[in-house]
Chains A and B, each alone.
Chain A
Amino acid sequence: MSSHAEAPEISKDPVADSTDLYAFISPDAPTTVTLIANYIPRQQPAGGPNFFEFGDDVLYEIHIDNTGDGVADISYQFRFKTVLTDTGANDTFLYNTGQITSLTDSTWNRKQFYSVTRKDKRGSHIMGTNLACPPCNVGKNSIPNYATLTAQAVHTAGLTKIFAGQRADGFYVDLGSIFDLGDLRPFQPDFLLKGAAIAGPNSLAATNVHSIALQVPITQLTKGGAMPATYKDSDSTIGVWTTASRQKTKIYGAHKTNAGPWEQVSRLGNPLINEVIIPMGKKDDWNSDAPKNDSQYSKYYDHPGLAGLLNVLYPGAFPNLAAYTAVAANTRPDLDAVLLTGVPPLFPGFQNYTGKTKADMLRLNVAIAPTATASASILGVVGGDVAGFPNGRRVFDDVVSIELKAVAGALLGAVVPTYTPDGAAGLLYDVGGPTAEPAKVADLAAFGLTYGSSFPYLADPWDGYDNPATELAANAG
């Protein structure tokens, strides 16, 4: 998945496991950047008596580099605190003892609150304390109007909007096909073990995640607080990544405590990097490392394992890629540009180059105006929409298909003029119909995906009582 349980150690610690990161110019507030980092993957909506929640013992951060060195110039820190409403004589085993219609309801027993601190070159600034999270979406009887709670949970600090809580996972992937020898269902007639072309489902349909989200004025993120005049300005691009950290020691038992400095256990910039590019034996190290050190991983970008496999899995479909990768000296400057340094001005109206430092960060050119959601291409720059991935990442961008095409060499010809991309490279996708790839946001509804039109943009979480899983069970009965 994008980064759901992508490394051995973090897969055992979902509370600290970053799943997706988004950074985009807010379509309804274009002087601001929206930053969203998701954690706690693959949440089934039905739960109880314990529901998913942030870790009180985890430091969640979203980092901004506005100088191109892979070092954070600004960090937003989120710390959580869980509070029980019913204690003493009213002690209950339940998450809620009645309907929750407000974030202050006494019928909601287990609440979470959080603080947000901005760290920058001027020091630490507390933006908010005791900010309320919304509850998990228990079900329609407990929470008759979840949207009301979402609205109550959007806080403001100056010109910044803040949210933290459960949302529907907006990421989509046909996980079963990707990791079952790359058998992309729509392309089965060309697969090594041939079959019929069938639709690719969304393996994450009807699951939830927990989001930390900010909507920040552009001028609070750029170098020197400047608003770049054009996309060509050298300071027009910011790098973004998220981390989760735990304290160095944890003591269980009667004297339980956490002590010691924060140690980073999870990291995420561009989607699918630790998932697909970084080898198994390095994934845990990568999670604890910093973007400024990513040149050590450059060889895995230059020789991605998936590129070497494609012509084997789809015999004869990628002859040019096979010939190119067969030469050990050939590297992948296309992937370097998209994923490690930013893209130089190769395409009209777009660049997000941040310099020679190789660092895994989402790179957002803040001088590029957003595309109206209805007309946006979910293939981003590959689909001719320069407001989408790899120019930052919007909640609906089809990053799996974009990166499949990129790894297959669809963009390699743009930086290696002697290389001609294989015809199949630009066609690859995973989630979609048997013969047609989704292109617009509206096309994703068929795969259980809808999005909000305003902050925090990810849809309200699936509820525990009514969701596709319960409907499937009812139909089977």
Chain B
Amino acid sequence: MAEISRRNFLKTARNGAAAVGLVAVAPTMLLTQAGAATKSKSTKTEATVRPVSSNETVVVHIPNPRSGEIHFMVGTREVVTHDRALVARLVRDIS
């Protein structure tokens, strides 16, 4: 069995379909990105989308980076959009 070094592990994580998991972001960042997502390609699965207050924390969840699906959680709401470009950029930024 090949030894998995820390370097190899990190490399594997970057190149493979590593789950991005949970990322807490500032609301302003979300607003910018959500706007970008809407402009490019988005599918809102929740009908009621209220404006995000500037002092509310937003949690972003990307269950599977390959699918381009991105979940925004704020308060007790969850908004799901599909934006491959946004997800790819986020993955690139944290890799």
Chain A interface (Cβ within 8 Å of chain B)? 247-249, 251, 255, 257, 259-262
Contacts and interface: CB of A to CB of B under 8 A. Distances in A.
A251 B76 CA distance: 14
Nearest to B46: A261
Given A251-B24, A259-B57, A261-B77, 4 more contacts: A249-B73, A251-B22, A260-B77, A261-B73
B20 interface: no
Contacts of A251: 22, 24, 57, 59
B91 interface: no
Contacts of B22: 249, 251
Nearest to A253: B24
Given A249-B22, A255-B24, A260 B76 contact: yes
B74 interface: yes
Contacts of B58: 259
A262 B22 CA distance: 17
Interface in B7-23: 22
B51 interface: no
A83 to B, nearest CB: 22
B67 to A, nearest CB: 18
B82 interface: no
Contacts of A259: 57-59, 73-75
B76 A262 contact: yes
A260 B73 CA distance: 5
Interface residues of B, number: 13
Interface of B: 22, 24, 57-59, 61, 71, 73-78
B64 to A, nearest CB: 16
A247 B76 contact: yes
A233 to B, nearest CB: 38
A350 B71 CA distance: 50
B61 A261 contact: no
A259 B74 CA distance: 5
A251 B22 CA distance: 9
A262 B73 CA distance: 11
Contacts of B57: 251, 255, 257, 259
A316 B78 CA distance: 57
A96 B59 CA distance: 37
A248 B24 contact: no
A434 to B, nearest CB: 54
Contacts of B74: 259
Contacts of B75: 259
29 contacts: A247-B73, A247-B76, A248-B61, A249-B22, A249-B59, A249-B61, A251-B22, A251-B24, A251-B57, A251-B59, A255-B24, A255-B57, A257-B57, A257-B59, A259-B57, A259-B58, A259-B59, A259-B73, A259-B74, A259-B75, A260-B59, A260-B71, A260-B73, A260-B76, A260-B77, A261-B73, A261-B76, A261-B77, A262-B76
Contacts of A247: 73, 76
A259 B61 CA distance: 11
A288 to B, nearest CB: 16
Nearest to A59: B76
A248 B78 CA distance: 9
Contacts of B24: 251, 255, 257
Nearest to B76: A261
| Residue from the set B22, B59, B61 with the largest chain A CB neighbour count within 10 Å | B59
A251 B59 CA distance: 9
A171 B25 CA distance: 46
Contacts of A257: 24, 57, 59
A247 B73 CA distance: 10
| Residue from the set A249, A251, A255 with the largest chain B CB neighbour count within 10 Å | A249
B59 A261 contact: no
A294 B62 CA distance: 31
